[in-house]
Structure 1
Amino acid sequence: MSATRTHPRLRPPAGSDVLPYVYRVTKYNPADRDENGHYAGAEPAISDHGPVEAAYLQAAAAFAEDSGVDQLAIREPQLGGFAHFGLERPVDGYGLADLFPADPADPAGFHDGALVPIAVAMELVRAMLRDNGAWCRLEAEGAFTVHVGWDQYIYLGSSRPCEAALTRTRALGLFPERLDASPYDFAPDDPAYVQRPADADFWARLHWAVSAHRAVFLEEVFAANASRWHRLTRDTIETVRSKLAPRSQLAVWPDLLTDVDKAVAALPHEGLVEIVWEDEDGRITSTVVDETQFEAVTSQLASARAAGVVSMYAGEDLPLFTAVLPDSDGVLRARWQTEPTPSDRDWALLKTLRRGQVVTGTVTTIASFGVTFVDIGGFTAMINIPELSWRPFDHPSDVVSVGQEVTAEVLDVDTVWERVSLSLRAVQEDPWPQVAQRIGHVVIGPVTKIVPFGVFVRIEDREDGFQGLVHTSELDESSGDVVEVGDALTVKIIEVDMARRRISLSHTQAHTTRSSSLGAA
């Protein structure tokens, strides 16, 4: 197990409400507080591992009973690090060894969303009171919550007033005080940030990443400050997926360096980093160290076949992309938020786009192969050549220029490949129906191109005017003149193929039409 880079950010579920009855329950007599509310009595800030601790557990159980709750859900579990208050020495197994299976992927394990009976929930409260290094919120959604804070403070929230539990708590020698809310209610660092779910699109993108990089590493954070690492290949993705802990946070990283010396050279002069290495047997180990431990860890890497160094500081060494496992019904109920990567931000934008939606962006690049790239809110979309204009042009720069603001329609959104296709012509009036109305008209236009099977003539008096083909069979060669590019040619519009966007012209019929008109005159 190893430390994560940042404190987990949390977001409340849609429609969640603060419970109306919240009590702070402590062993500290309010009469022993000074004018600033600070406790000045003789009670220690650690558990007595005896009758006072037992009183806390009995009080919490009484509130659960009054709330009509017989089981609680573990939320935002944490192990070590900031989960340990540091007032007592942490114990092996964080005090959970006899409560949960060792495998975090076990449905009965210590993971977010696991349901436990009140008896087990109270043992978790005991571990938190003893500062054993494990912490979590305990909840029955909309009915009851238990939060254990610093210095032996317990916060109990309920949908009911719990009068009997209050009486019981006082009889136990504890002091309940009514509050508006628990200071340990979860609150998101960034309420606007939505975590990507590990859904079908996520796994499809992961398969693509493995194909592109040949192998990647998947970091599985099953509790804050605790993770497992998995090396993924095409053959192992589904096996690893089946063994992930419920609601775990996932981060996809590039493959480790097989040149271990190069990985060691990447160590900074100072700071906190996570070192990940794979031994000759394929076992993956990770540990968080600072500069005082670099030398000791480096010696452990001597037998490693691959290794990597990841900075623990926000904004550095971000993974390729991240996600959180949804529940079996596909609903994302975990409230974890990881630091968003550029790919995560792209995904968040793509989820807001729909086919047919009209967007505004700025042209950033006109590629040599013709595709035009447009920035739409920080994401680069593309416009293929046929979608730039209904009218003919020689180069995309004839239609748009770098820095130009354009309005376009979304043609397609691919969340796996993270691509968006746009169309400029889709927001323009289609001129082809007007061209079709000109069938039978005789016009004079310049020859723009000569090909083995005929010549092209522009039938509109504008640089981007439509052009039609005069097939060799429709050329009047009786005069013996040779047609050249730039010559004015009189033609008749004989067909407009709307499906294939083609115009057929006739030089011969134009002369026949003109002769008939003169004869009639």
Structure 2
Amino acid sequence: MNATRTRPRRRPPAGSDVLPYVYQVTKYDPADRDQHGHYIGAEPANSDHGPVEAAYLQAIAAFAEDTDVEQLTIREPQIGGFAHFGLEPPVDGYGLADLFPAGPAGFHDGALVPIAAGLELVRAMLRDNGAWCRLETEGAFTVHVGWDQYLYIGSSHPCDAALTRTRSLGLFPERLDASPYDFAPDDPAYVQRPADADFWARLHWAVSAHRATYLEETYAANASRWHRLTRDNIEAVRAQLTPHAQLAVWPDLLTDVDAAMSSLPEVGLVEVLWEDEDGRITSVVVDETQFEAVTSQITGACTAGVVSLATDERHPLFTAVLPDSDGVLRARWQTEPTPSDRDWAFLKTLRRGQVVTGTVTTIASFGVTFVDIGGFTAMINIPELSWRPIDHPSDVVSVGQQITAEVLDVDMVRERVPLSLRAVQEDPWPQVAQRIGQVVTGLVTKIVPFGVFVRIEDREDGFEGLVHASELDESTRGVVEVGDALTVKIIDVDLARRRIALSQTQARTPRHQGDRHS
């Protein structure tokens, strides 16, 4: 028999707050181990449901008393579900029924339980009833149950009296550096998205835009509830969610139930969910041996869907974990990041006014330029490409070109980032304002009912001004055409509205020194 079963062993991350006193407590005499550390004695790997099991619980109680701990916090709870953990047959309710009368959702991350209830949870784990969790008091005490009746107790105190008591109970405590079941995140570098104000605003937007209609609430590993969302019930659903729950937002199910069930794989585990005409949502995990039964079970359903249990085949729109009421995210588990979640993490690093570099990826037919700024696609509208008038973005940028631009805004709801290329360039308009009073000759670029526009600079993207009809010579009105050269005077520059006023009649007065042509 191995020292521990095959539950994933997670080491604490570097620099984590490991308790100074950690003990492995077992019923296995260290003298009955081979040269590889494997137990070769006669003790069974499952619980005796009797005096040895009771000894384990008394030992935990002794350590808790020595540490002056009266309550424990449930962390990272798991429910066996379709993959039962241990050697004994599964138990209805996973051994939780009497501990959480309101239902299994009471068995959630962050739930506080008295020592007596914590001991009953340990009993359920020793009996492999299908429920598992870490029991901890932050900075003071931990109880971790491994497989094969291996128990790991951590304390901020040496607990000499508890060690003596444990040995008198016939158990064997051994000092360790750390529990093999200390928590460590799957990806220490990943920043978990919280279900904060930005998340709920995005959810409201997604539902209103008919991009999302279902919320999956996972309150323990392998245990979840589904909620249909409407614009009117999101806040009501939010109010009833389990603390620290993992959330996943999904698109609508198929109204064609037959089409939904046709996506069942040939083999493997999947989650099948359906909604009846009364709005009740049912979710079951089945394999190929149960496909026929579940197909007949959903006859008459309004909508149905099949969700893969494979991480790389599950595609929610976005995910999050519920923080506490003070906004702090204390749940340690992580959701599998979606593209939207990765965009969220990147957007959290941006600020309005920040200067970024990127590569032009696309110039859309409607004029918007798309720019890759580190894996996220930002956009530049035509007016933000240049201070000068342009006909098309290709007059300024080209696909593949690297550019530097300023962030105008960070829209966390629609996950959009508008950029400005002109914001990092010198504004030429103050120089134009200094030319008030100058007489220039330029080409007519446009004729409108209230006047004509004249380019006052000799360049394709030169600034243009308006010669109002009242400022045109009588001989010019109705005769001038696009492309004609017109001599005009710059009579005003409105910097706020970015407009230039010109006059042909005033240009015919004697020029003052300093007047010049364009």
Read off the aligned partner of 1:405 and give its amino acid letter: Q
1:3 counterpart residue number = none
Match of 1:313 among 305, 310, 314: 310
> Matches of residues 48-447 of structure 1 in structure 2 within 5 Å?
48-81=48-81, 84-104=84-104, 109-213=106-210, 216-447=213-444
Query: Which deviates more, 509-518 or 200-209?
Result: 509-518
- Looking at structure 1, the residues matched to 144 and 92 of structure 2 have their Cα atoms a distance apart, in angstroms, of 23
| Cα displacement (A) at 1:30 | 1.1
| Cα displacement (A) at 1:407 | 1.4
| Cα displacement (A) at 1:142 | 0.8
| Cα displacement (A) at 1:38 | 0.8
Q: What's the CA shift string for 1:191-228, capped at 9, x where partnerless?
A: 12222211222222222222222871211111111111
Q: What's the CA shift string for 1:40-90, capped at 9, x where partnerless?
A: 111111111111111111111111122221111000111114884321112
- Looking at structure 1, the residues matched to 190 and 495 of structure 2 have their Cα atoms a distance apart, in angstroms, of 46
3-state SS in 2 of match to 1:252: strand
Query: Which deviates more, 279-288 or 54-63?
Result: 279-288
5+ long unaligned stretches in structure 1: 1-6
Query: Which deviates more, 297-306 or 444-453?
Result: 444-453
Query: Which deviates more, 12-21 or 334-343?
Result: 12-21
| Cα displacement (A) at 1:31 | 1.1
Q: What's the CA shift string for 1:263-313, capped at 9, x where partnerless?
A: 111112222211001233322211111222211211112232221101111
- Looking at structure 1, the residues matched to 219 and 245 of structure 2 have their Cα atoms a distance apart, in angstroms, of 5
**In structure 2, do the counterparts of structure 1 residues 67 and 83 end up closer, same or farther at CA, with 3 Å as the change threshold?**
farther
**In structure 2, do the counterparts of structure 1 residues 103 and 81 end up closer, same or farther at CA, with 3 Å as the change threshold?**
closer
3-state SS in 1 of match to 2:113: strand
3-state SS in 2 of match to 1:88: coil
Read off the aligned partner of 2:261 and give its amino acid letter: V
1:505 counterpart residue number = 502
- Looking at structure 2, the residues matched to 288 and 366 of structure 1 have their Cα atoms a distance apart, in angstroms, of 46
- Asked whether the equivalents of residues 9 and 181 of structure 2 are also in contact (C-alpha less than 8 Å), the reply is no
1:486 counterpart residue number = 483
- Asked whether the equivalents of residues 490 and 501 of structure 2 are also in contact (C-alpha less than 8 Å), the reply is yes
Read off the aligned partner of 1:87 and give its amino acid letter: L
Please report the TM-score for the alignment, with normalisation by the length of structure 1: 0.92
- Looking at structure 2, the residues matched to 256 and 8 of structure 1 have their Cα atoms a distance apart, in angstroms, of 34
| Cα displacement (A) at 1:500 | 0.5
- Looking at structure 1, the residues matched to 513 and 347 of structure 2 have their Cα atoms a distance apart, in angstroms, of 61
- Looking at structure 2, the residues matched to 263 and 278 of structure 1 have their Cα atoms a distance apart, in angstroms, of 12
**In structure 2, do the counterparts of structure 1 residues 99 and 210 end up closer, same or farther at CA, with 3 Å as the change threshold?**
same
Q: What's the CA shift string for 1:105-138, capped at 9, x where partnerless?
A: 5xxx211101111111111111111111110001
| Cα displacement (A) at 1:515 | 7.8
5+ long unaligned stretches in structure 2: 1-6
- Asked whether the equivalents of residues 96 and 104 of structure 2 are also in contact (C-alpha less than 8 Å), the reply is no
CA RMSD of aligned residues (A): 2.5
- Asked whether the equivalents of residues 10 and 337 of structure 1 are also in contact (C-alpha less than 8 Å), the reply is no
| Cα displacement (A) at 1:428 | 1.0
| Cα displacement (A) at 1:367 | 2.0
1:41 counterpart residue number = 41
| Cα displacement (A) at 1:480 | 9.3
- Looking at structure 2, the residues matched to 93 and 360 of structure 1 have their Cα atoms a distance apart, in angstroms, of 55
Q: How many residues align?
A: 509
Q: Which one has more relative contact order, counting CA pairs under 8 Å at least 6 apart?
A: 1
**In structure 2, do the counterparts of structure 1 residues 303 and 353 end up closer, same or farther at CA, with 3 Å as the change threshold?**
same
3-state SS in 2 of match to 1:315: helix
- Asked whether the equivalents of residues 11 and 337 of structure 1 are also in contact (C-alpha less than 8 Å), the reply is no
Read off the aligned partner of 1:116 and give its amino acid letter: V
Q: Does 1:18 align with 2:18?
A: yes
| Cα displacement (A) at 1:145 | 0.7
- Looking at structure 2, the residues matched to 480 and 147 of structure 1 have their Cα atoms a distance apart, in angstroms, of 92
- Looking at structure 1, the residues matched to 261 and 375 of structure 2 have their Cα atoms a distance apart, in angstroms, of 35
- Looking at structure 1, the residues matched to 419 and 514 of structure 2 have their Cα atoms a distance apart, in angstroms, of 48
Query: Which deviates more, 358-367 or 484-493?
Result: 484-493
1:32 counterpart residue number = 32
**In structure 2, do the counterparts of structure 1 residues 244 and 27 end up closer, same or farther at CA, with 3 Å as the change threshold?**
same
Read off the aligned partner of 1:416 and give its amino acid letter: V
Match of 2:445 among 429, 448, 469: 448
Q: What's the CA shift string for 1:316-370, capped at 9, x where partnerless?
A: 1311111111112121111121111121112111211111111122222222222
1:463 counterpart residue number = 460
1:4 counterpart residue number = none
- Looking at structure 1, the residues matched to 100 and 281 of structure 2 have their Cα atoms a distance apart, in angstroms, of 23
3-state SS in 1 of match to 2:351: coil
Please report the TM-score for the alignment, with normalisation by the length of structure 2: 0.92
3-state SS in 2 of match to 1:297: helix
| Cα displacement (A) at 1:455 | 2.3
Match of 2:492 among 492, 495, 509: 495
3-state SS in 1 of match to 2:209: helix
